[in-house]
Every structure is written in C-alpha cells, then in structure tokens.
Amino acid sequence: MRLIVKRSAQLVGIAMTGLLTVGCASQQANSGYTAASLSQPIQYLPAEFSQTLSTALSGSSQFFAASPYGDQVTIEFQSPYFAASGATCRQLVVRNQASSVKLACTHNGTQWYSARSLVAGSTL
C-alpha cells in the first residue's frame, strides 16, 4: 500500500513538473518585448527631441520652452544604458515646479519613445 501511495505521489510530482515546464516554455516564447506589448502602440517622440536624446552628453541639462514632458522644463540627461529588452534607454530628470524621472528608449538609435519606468519611486 505504501508503495502505491509513494508511486502515485511521484507520478503527480512528475506530471506537475511537466505542466510547469510547458507553461513556462510557452510563456517564454510569447514574452518577446515590444514597447507596444506593454499596453499601447509605440508613440515616438518628435524628431528634434529624439536627436537631442541621441546626442546629449551624460549629466548635461537643457531648457525646453515646449517638450514631450511639458512646457518650460529643464531636462537633465542621464547616461544611456542597455536595457534587458535590447533597447538603449536614458533616464531624464524633468524639472519645472516639481521634479520627476522619465524614461526614453530606442531600438534603432534614432527614433526614441517614452517608456514606462519599472523602478518604484520614479519621482524625485
């Protein structure tokens, strides 16, 4: 009797492991990152602002009378980094009456888009 119960428990364990493996594998196959998959289609930033994102020196700041992040703001450009998604991203410290941290990314080096920050506490 113990042998049957032990054997049944082993078979259930093997079956559960198989189901988890198949579930994870199918989840992995469908988890390819695109900015659109996060909820909305990519909305690229204006070409002039994208050019600034591509060329701004790390730590530099620039005043914008109008920007995708508001009017009358100063934006400090942090160092670009390679995200796990394969995109190149930059944190932007946007300052007007309050400060906030925004994230912009690109996959091709020329067209940048606003991305959702995955780090908690993105307000300074």
Give the pLDDT of residue 117.
76
Q: What is the DSSP string of 77-119?
A: EPPPEE-TTS-EEEEEEEESSSEEEEEEEESSSS-EEEE---S
Give the pLDDT of residue 59.
97
Question: What are 1-39's pLDDT values in tens digits?
Answer: 555 545 555 655 555 554 444 444 433 333 334 444 555
Q: Report which DSSP code applies to 40.
A: S
Give the pLDDT of residue 85.
86
User: How far apart, in Å, are the Cα atoms of 95 and each of 47, 72, 101, 116?
Assistant: 22, 9, 9, 18
Q: Mean per-residue pLDDT for 111-123?
A: 74
Q: How far, in Å, CA of 20 to CA of 16, rounded?
A: 6
- Domain locations along the chain: 43-115
